[in-house]
Structure 1
């Protein structure tokens, strides 16, 4: 890996090798998630260079695959977890308690029970609470360890209103009450170590002023808190660093973001902590899917594929744009003619749609692509973040397999589900005893079910 390679700010879908991806579908079937571990490392190194003095945590919710967690841990990142299941994955990937932050948002009782038990074995684990009620519930369970308070700064930003968390009432204690809440927690014996907020997900360069104002408010709050409860270890300003999904969209000016963050935070006697997720993994992954139906509709050509909103939810959920390539067309005669139609195929407007019985199950509408044929393999770019993590079994559809590229080799990281996997909980419920059924909720985070692999 050269420094020049690491400095490339974004990997476009056109940078992936079409023949190699096509071969993966031949070997492993479709739909198929593919993730490049080296690209994850490159993204980490670039961010580490921009924020040399910051503690870097990876937001596990972006992609919780065990291979991703181990890659980023080896690179030097800690792990920020939004659930007990993610904490379990982090510990299963080899993280110690000191490398894990659990950020609770209205946590279920079983989550708190499991995390407090894990804290007993790893007392350096940090719990971030987003309400006074959560602090009470932790105290009831005997937790008096490292406590960080999530605050609501009243500023939100991001790629969609559904992920602009900084001003949403759901997240955090209002900033104006934070000092009192933390003073009370310290009086009750908690080890108050930090404050945390997250402005939103997918923040772009043109939202830098909102990011700057958000960080400035966190700096002011940190100084106020320190005057009341003593020094803090860290001020966590979250992540949300955006990536360019559209081909003509410029990458985030990371150096400018880093400089603006340091200037806005100001002088605080605490470390800066950031917790990106999408930035590490989005352009490290693609989704491969096979064309099964081509239909001439009244106003468009519908290209039906075997992936759908159960495989990649972002287009249906957020109206998100993802680039698409026809790999088969490009490999048809060994040439790539991006402007005039690969392999001589004419470009025609196409609506690429999945097999789910919902009108929202489309990846694009009337997009100019090489004319598709049944059996073609399409690649959907920037699928490494919130792709498999949001996959589901709606319409009783099994979730896809995942492949990891490492050391110039491809290996299966997650097998493809079957319908038998989808229906297994029902069969097990029918055969369970009344006692088993009554205690089923206690097994929701059972360590016998290894979530890392």
Structure 2
């Protein structure tokens, strides 16, 4: 089953398919830089994924896009929430997710985060708390935790779009597989209700990395078969990739689902998956305006009002995002590098892109910006973060643009001594 159809729509939405007139109108009304999230596409992506995994529990990885509008759309579509921090847990609850629909899966959680999660679990016993280290198990016990417990396993195999996100082979994540049974027993001895196992290969898994994904699931299945605990679920993580480059094919979900099920043969537990990027990446674009054009030594540089503080993935991971000019006149095409306003050489949204010859005032759209875009935006260079508009019945401003006063608010409200 490939999931394509009237409900789920095409398996990939290319940047060229966004309506240029609509995007120009949004930029004119709300300014730039501007993130635009299409909630209909978010729901379609969820329907396609749920269709490929009909018997699985689908938890949205909140770190991909924690906007309340996105969380509520996915909650209403039937998804649960996977939260990697106390803040994400608070936002999931605020968005209306029931505690039984939430997994808290923090890595090396700070004390304040763990305190909050244990308090939530005490008030809402249906919450599932995942730990990936022996110390975290002991820290939970010290806080009197006695709720639903899941163990994160380190499979030693990773995959993803970058070594930076290939978490499955990073020892930071999870308990080694050969120690998992012992740690599960320790958790049970502390009075935890052992309900599940978890592992994750990485972020942005592609069709040519399915062997690695299956090896991760197989490792998790071996632990599940070995344990004497009655597991409710086996959580194989997410990381389902999307095609960022125009030439890339979409992920073969049917193949991913088949190989996942094959690896879990004879495991008597519900399959849980944690997609993030797959649900929201191609549902979002970033709009930015060209304010400076340089032609130097044969190079064409378009300076825009969005940069690495708005979308950090190109600078951090070397990630590719498609870029489209929304200029409505017919110009010759040039190789253009689109750069931002930050005082860093890495502040580049795209290099040597075939675009109409840029002019000041041109509007550019950056594709696949719905995942890890606004979530990773920062105030570096003391720049206010951008606004976000959601498209559903009509456009709605769901996050206002920050002001300079917002940038200094934490300092302005932190005074403990009288001004001199």
2:217 counterpart (211, 215, 218): 215
CA–CA distance in structure 1, aligned partners of residues 94 and 286 of structure 2: 26
CA–CA distance in structure 2, aligned partners of residues 177 and 150 of structure 1: 11
Task: Structure 1 unaligned segments of length 5 or more: list them.
Answer: 333-342, 435-453
Determine the structure 1 residue equivalent to 2:280: 281
Deviation, 1:5, is 5.5
CA–CA distance in structure 2, aligned partners of residues 169 and 212 of structure 1: 19
Deviation, 1:364, is 1.2
SS in 2 for 1:198: coil
1:416 counterpart (377, 396, 401): 401
Deviation, 1:299, is 3.6
CA contact (8 A) 1:153 1:175 kept: yes
CA–CA distance in structure 2, aligned partners of residues 5 and 190 of structure 1: 41
Determine the structure 2 residue equivalent to 1:291: 290
Determine the structure 1 residue equivalent to 2:268: 269
CA contact (8 A) 1:216 1:266 kept: no
CA–CA distance in structure 1, aligned partners of residues 417 and 225 of structure 2: 56
CA–CA distance in structure 2, aligned partners of residues 262 and 370 of structure 1: 47
SS in 2 for 1:33: strand
CA–CA distance in structure 2, aligned partners of residues 280 and 52 of structure 1: 16
CA contact (8 A) 2:224 2:267 kept: yes
| TM-score, reference length from structure 1 | 0.90
CA–CA distance in structure 1, aligned partners of residues 266 and 311 of structure 2: 42
Deviations 1:300-348 (CA, angstroms, capped at 9, x unpaired): 1110000000000000011111011111x2xx2xxxxxxxxxx320000
Q: After the TM superposition, which parts of structure 1 deviate over 4 Å for at least 4 consecutive aligned residues?
A: none
Determine the structure 2 residue equivalent to 1:138: 140
SS in 2 for 1:23: helix
SS in 1 for 2:370: coil
CA contact (8 A) 2:122 2:147 kept: no
Deviation, 1:268, is 0.7
Deviations 1:272-309 (CA, angstroms, capped at 9, x unpaired): 10000000000000000000000112241110000000
Determine the structure 2 residue equivalent to 1:311: 310
Bigger helix fraction? 1
Deviations 1:88-129 (CA, angstroms, capped at 9, x unpaired): 000000111101100020100000111111112211000000
Deviation, 1:213, is 1.3
Determine the structure 2 residue equivalent to 1:250: 249
Determine the structure 2 residue equivalent to 1:350: 336
Q: Verify: 1:387 aligned to 2:373, yes or no.
A: yes
Deviation, 1:3, is 3.7
| TM-score, reference length from structure 2 | 0.97
CA–CA distance in structure 2, aligned partners of residues 433 and 281 of structure 1: 45
Determine the structure 2 residue equivalent to 1:129: 131
| Count of matched residue positions in the alignment of Structure 1 and Structure 2 | 415
Matches within 5 A, 1:35-434: 35-225=37-227, 228=228, 230-327=229-326, 329=327, 332=328, 343-407=329-393, 409-430=394-415, 432=416
Deviations 1:324-379 (CA, angstroms, capped at 9, x unpaired): 1111x2xx2xxxxxxxxxx3200001110000000000011111110111001000
CA contact (8 A) 2:7 2:47 kept: no
CA contact (8 A) 2:293 2:301 kept: yes
In structure 2, the CA distance between the partners of 1:5 and 1:296, relative to structure 1 (3 Å rule), is farther
CA–CA distance in structure 2, aligned partners of residues 144 and 118 of structure 1: 12
Task: Structure 2 unaligned segments of length 5 or more: list them.
Answer: none
Deviation, 1:170, is 0.5
RMSD: 1.1
2:35 counterpart (33, 36, 47): 33
CA–CA distance in structure 1, aligned partners of residues 116 and 220 of structure 2: 30
